[in-house]
């Protein structure tokens, strides 16, 4: 089989200049854009900024049960020993659990919420499946920050994601305010691919999930894009939703506040964009970081759960 053309050379194949993305942001042609719950105005916001935020999308009751699931995992030493569970070294607390959509039926239902799934299918112009899912628990006072990066640059290089046709969803489990290290995004940064220097170490994922050492754009590129697009940090009550394009630059500050910042994070990938061999040439990452078993397209779950309220009726 012919190796797939690498349209986004990065890492070892590093080139100096950033360049425009090859794919459209919204994968629909003009007469199909109305095929979904997002209005033309929302579609244009997403095209311009690379993200959409919905305060209070779910009620706090709808997301509260995930804390019990986190507690259950924390009490299960066999579970905590798995590679898919990232512990917070000093506190022996769970920091992240990957593949949550396979471990938790509540999480799986959240990813197949009818309205949420319809928005994502509209943005990606196709059926979708879950590329990656995780629950993050960032306690107060010590939640570390994370460097500026594009998820697509990692997923392309280390997982073999061919094109920019994926959307990440983050659902806040705790109130996100200006002080507890909310996600920061650079509006418009999704329009440019920034090649990043540096060879990808073998098994890079064993430390990159704590600190991104490769796949970090240059400060010049970040400054250029932030000077033109600014920086936004969507906040809101528990249950709020953020949808952001796979190539939108994002980072987070350390959480010096006494308040935790926890969220559900899951990535919808188009069924037309399934993983190829990693473009970095390294061994594929574990399947809990990048789904590889060709799951069928996601189907919406019927009926709404207790406590799910929607901004949009
Ligand atoms: O490597 C990854 O797939 C993960 N790393 C970061 C910094 N964000 C996306 C993803 O969860
Ligand atoms: Fe990220």
Q: Which ligand is nearest to the CA of 242?
A: 2
Query: What three-state secondary structure class fits 169?
Result: strand
pLDDT tens-place string over residues 121-138:
999 999 999 999 999 988
25-29, 148-152, 302-306, range with the lowest pLDDT: 302-306
Q: For 37-54, give one letter per residue: b (16+ CB within 10 A) or e.
A: bbeeebbebbbebbbbbb
Ligand 1 pocket test, pick from 95, 151, 166 with the greatest ligand atom count within 8 Å of Cβ, gives 151
Q: Using CA atoms, how far apart are residues 20 and 8, in angstroms rounded to an integer? A: 10
Has residue 313 been placed in a domain?
Answer: no
pLDDT tens-place string over residues 25-69:
999 998 999 999 999 999 999 999 999 999 999 999 999 999 999
Has residue 4 been placed in a domain?
Answer: no
Rg of the chain, C-alpha, whole Å:
18
pLDDT tens-place string over residues 89-122:
666 788 899 999 999 999 999 999 999 999 999 9
Has residue 60 been placed in a domain?
Answer: yes
Has residue 205 been placed in a domain?
Answer: yes
Has residue 312 been placed in a domain?
Answer: no
Q: Which ligand is nearest to the CA of 183?
A: 2
Q: Using CA atoms, how far apart are residues 158 and 200, in angstroms rounded to an integer? A: 8
232 burial via Cβ count (<10 Å: 0-12, 13-18, 19+): middle
pLDDT tens-place string over residues 199-246:
999 999 988 888 888 889 999 999 999 999 999 999 999 999 999 999
Centre of ligand 2 to C-alpha 249, Å, is 8
Residues 6 or more apart whose Cβ sits within 8 Å of residue 231: 184, 185, 186
Residue among 112, 105, 149, 107 at smallest CA distance from 129? 112
Has residue 121 been placed in a domain?
Answer: yes
In sequence order, the β-bridge partners of residue 265 are 134, 170
Question: What's the structural domain count of the chain?
Answer: 1
pLDDT tens-place string over residues 203-215:
999 888 888 888 8
Residues 6 or more apart whose Cβ sits within 8 Å of residue 247: 21, 50, 150, 151, 152, 153, 164, 189, 190, 193
Has residue 306 been placed in a domain?
Answer: no
The residue whose CA is least distant from atom 4 of ligand 1 is 209
Residue among 135, 115, 106 at smallest CA distance from 54? 115
pLDDT tier at 312, thresholds 50, 70, 90? very low
* CA-154 nearest atom, ligand 1: 1
* CA-289 nearest atom, ligand 1: 3
Print the domain residue range for 78: 36-270
Has residue 291 been placed in a domain?
Answer: no
Contact 286, 205 (CB under 8 A): yes
80 burial via Cβ count (<10 Å: 0-12, 13-18, 19+): middle
Looking at residue 129, which CATH number applies to its domain?
A: 2.60.120.620
């Amino acid at each position: 089989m012919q190796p797939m053309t690498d349209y986004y050379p990065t890492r070892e194949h590093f080139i100096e200049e950033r360049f425009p993305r090859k794919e459209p942001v919204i994968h629909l042609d003009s007469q199909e854009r109305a095929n979904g719950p997002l209005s033309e105005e929302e579609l244009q916001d997403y095209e311009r900024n690379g993200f959409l935020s919905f305060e209070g999308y779910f009620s706090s009751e709808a997301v509260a049960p995930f804390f019990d699931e986190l507690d259950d995992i924390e009490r299960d030493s066999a579970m905590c020993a798995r590679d898919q569970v990232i512990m917070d070294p000093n506190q022996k607390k769970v920091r992240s659990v990957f593949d949550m959509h396979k471990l938790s039926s509540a999480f799986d239902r959240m990813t197949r919420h009818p309205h949420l799934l319809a928005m994502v299918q509209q943005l990606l112009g196709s059926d979708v499946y879950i590329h990656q899912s995780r629950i993050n628990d960032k306690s107060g006072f010590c939640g570390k920050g994370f460097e500026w990066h594009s998820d697509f640059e990692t997923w392309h290089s280390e997982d073999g994601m061919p094109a920019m046709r994926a959307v990440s969803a983050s659902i806040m489990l705790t109130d996100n305010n200006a002080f507890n290290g909310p996600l920061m995004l650079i509006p418009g940064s999704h329009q440019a691919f920034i090649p990043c220097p540096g060879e990808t170490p073998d098994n890079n994922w064993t430390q990159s999930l704590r600190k991104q050492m490769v796949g970090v754009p240059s400060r010049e590129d970040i400054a250029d894009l932030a000077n033109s697009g600014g920086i936004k940090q969507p906040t809101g009550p528990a249950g709020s939703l953020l949808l952001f394009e796979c190539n939108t630059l994002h980072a987070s500050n350390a959480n010096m506040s006494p308040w935790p910042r926890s969220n559900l994070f899951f990535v919808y990938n188009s069924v037309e964009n399934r993983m190829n061999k990693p473009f970095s040439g390294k061994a594929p990452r574990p399947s809990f970081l990048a789904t590889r078993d060709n799951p069928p397209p996601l189907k919406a779950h019927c009926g709404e759960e207790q406590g799910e309220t929607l901004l949009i009726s």
